[in-house]
Chain A
Amino acid sequence: MTLLDISPHRIAGLARANVTLVARNRLTFIYAVVLPLLPLGLLLVGDNNSSGAAANAVVTALMMAALFPVYANLLSQFVTRRDELVLKRLRTGESTDADIIVSLALPGLVVALTTSALAVPIAVVLGQDPPLNPLLYGLTVVVTLLLFVAFACWTAAWTRNAEAAQLTSMPVIVLVVLGQVATAFPDNVRRWTDLTPGAAMADLVRVSWFGFETGSTDQTLAFSDSWAAAGEPLLVLTAWAVLAVFLARRSMRWEPRS
């Protein structure tokens, strides 16, 4: 599989069909489109003056955007299309493997990117500062989404069918949520949970947008400090992404187990 062997024309055609399919299945649509938009509402109901609450809302929004439209949706689409032998059929044509994966992921990626972008004007309107380091915030979103695309492909490899996906997606979900809830854990436990992708992503959001140092909810970082403060979580998140891509490429399966 060549990662960059893609054609925008083919991806557009395939993604169009995938959007149609997501829209036709009500449950899929709710999980892929409606659910990830909900956490943005947390920004509205949270304490307008507390940047700590706003940070939690943005982290939750981004996590939901990565988990539902990207991870769970891609996993279920991939497994369903594989069972229907659609993936095998497509691979007999001009489409490359990368075309197929990108087009399956694209509708969910658009939803996730929209959510991450919408969070900015909503937060600003509600009295929060715009992201301290927009580039770092954008990078956090991109690496996070790439990680979850790769996680979905890897999980699909050992998911027997669409029903089984509810179970097989648990390890990744736990890995993400663990980092989120870890703020309540004692320090010696958090040393380890900080190594989860969920914690790394949360740290990056706090640093890049709100200028929080690790564990703090006061803006102490200036723009120039934010890169250095982001170093460790960015390294953790990137390492997870590299690992996930490696695992996915190694285990990719395109037709149902016979």
Chain B
Amino acid sequence: MKSTLLSDTDHIEVRGLRRVYGTGDKAFEAVRGIDLVVGAGTVVALLGTNGAGKTSALEVVEGLARPTAGEVRVLGLDPVTDRAEVRRRTGVLLQTSGFPADLTVAEALRMWASTMTSPRPVADALDELDLAGRADVRVRSLSGGELRRLDLACTLLGEPDVVLLDEPTTGLDPKSRRRVWDLISALRDRGRSVLLTTHHLEEAEELADRVAIMHAGRIVREGTPAQLGADQPSTIRFHGVPALVGLGDLPGAIRVATRSGMTTVHTRDLQTTLHALLGHAAETDVRLPNLEAHNASLESVFLAIAAGDNDPDEPATSMEGATR
């Protein structure tokens, strides 16, 4: 923790944000009233399927679009009316990178630096994202991962206090992804605030202090990854449908499902259920191939929400009903 640590305030505040595209019969409400807070030194992941409204919401925080209703504050300022001040302290990464194809990596980065009030040296940024060896390569010849890293180098060039990343690691190979994750963690350690969207559950679990799951324009769950998982049953899985009677009667078990030759036991008490299951299997001399036991993960929360996608107008109420 260095002296660059910022005061402990909320860097991003979103209240009752709504965003409607079009008018009249063609109007589509992409964001249906969301609240979100990102405190200094935290990483918040906006998680959701494609079309959940993540990018539409983020564009308002970025100041690229005005909200239809509600309020957005970044560093206590309005991203549209206080644009100059907010932009100087914000780093944005759009979902798709945009650079002139005929510039080299170094030229593109220099161009970006020339628009900033106080950029870091271009060479440092190239090193940080492992692009120094590609400095003289034209943008059109870059791989998807290299292009994304160039984009991120621009995002972080002004040492922004607030970092907004729309699907930062989509299209990256595992090594590049790990590098980006390390960078994002380092930002948090320096007291920066990060709001990112992703549909990679692993990314949200690995990086985020808090996760907000968006579905059909609303935030249907919010909390730490652990909190979100706590509402969901743990699972025991194994191959085959063995002739074990009474799986559903195992202590703690709440549901048993068999699909594609896999048996899944859902339980509120993983240890007790697993202990009973293994005892039962040993007594009857039954093998349980590919046995796995999992605490509830973000994935199970996410899938439960996506599966509840029957009435897009009422997901918030039905989801809240399920939590309580």
Contacts and interface: CB of A to CB of B under 8 A. Distances in A.
Nearest to B157: A93
B84 A94 contact: yes
Given A90-B115, A91-B64, A17 B98 contact: no
Contact of B99 (A13, A86, A94): A86
A88 B102 contact: no
A94 B117 CA distance: 8
A128 interface: no
Interface in B21-72: 62, 64
B28 to A, nearest CB: 13
A94 B87 contact: yes
Q: Which of B64, B92, B102, B116 has the most CB of A within 10 A?
A: B102
Contacts of A87: 98
Interface in A63-102: 81, 84-95, 99
B98 A85 contact: yes
A25 B138 CA distance: 13
A9 interface: yes
Contact of B114 (A16, A81, A86, A89): A16
Given A21-B103, A24-B102, A94-B84, A85 B96 contact: yes
Interface residues of A, number: 25
A131 to B, nearest CB: 37
Interface in B79-125: 84, 87-88, 92, 94, 96-103, 107-108, 110-117
A86 B98 contact: yes
Given A84-B100, A89-B98, A17 B116 contact: no
Interface in A197-230: none
B127 to A, nearest CB: 21
A81 B100 contact: yes
Contacts of A89: 94, 97-99, 151, 154
A14 interface: yes
A14 B114 contact: yes
B100 A86 contact: yes
A190 interface: no
B161 to A, nearest CB: 14
Contacts of B84: 94
A10 interface: yes
A17 B96 contact: no
A20 interface: yes
B64 A92 contact: yes
A92 B102 contact: no
Given A85-B96, A93-B112, A94-B117, A17 B103 contact: yes
Contacts of B154: 89, 93
Contact of B100 (A9, A10, A17, A92): A17
Nearest to A12: B114
A9 B113 CA distance: 11
A93 to B, nearest CB: 5
A13 B115 contact: yes
A85 B98 CA distance: 4
Contact of A85 (B62, B87, B97): B97
Contact of B101 (A10, A14, A84, A95): A84
B101 A17 contact: no
Nearest to A80: B100
Contact of B115 (A10, A25, A81, A85): A10
Interface of B: 62, 64, 84, 87-88, 92, 94, 96-103, 107-108, 110-117, 151, 154
A-B CB proximity, top 7 nearest: A13-B114, A85-B98, A89-B98, A92-B92, A17-B111, A10-B115, A95-B115
Given A21-B100, A84-B101, 19 more contacts: A9-B114, A10-B114, A13-B111, A13-B114, A14-B114, A17-B111, A21-B103, A85-B98, A86-B98, A86-B100, A88-B64, A89-B97, A89-B151, A91-B64, A92-B92, A94-B87, A94-B115, A94-B116, A95-B115
5 contacts: A12-B114, A14-B115, A21-B102, A88-B94, A93-B92
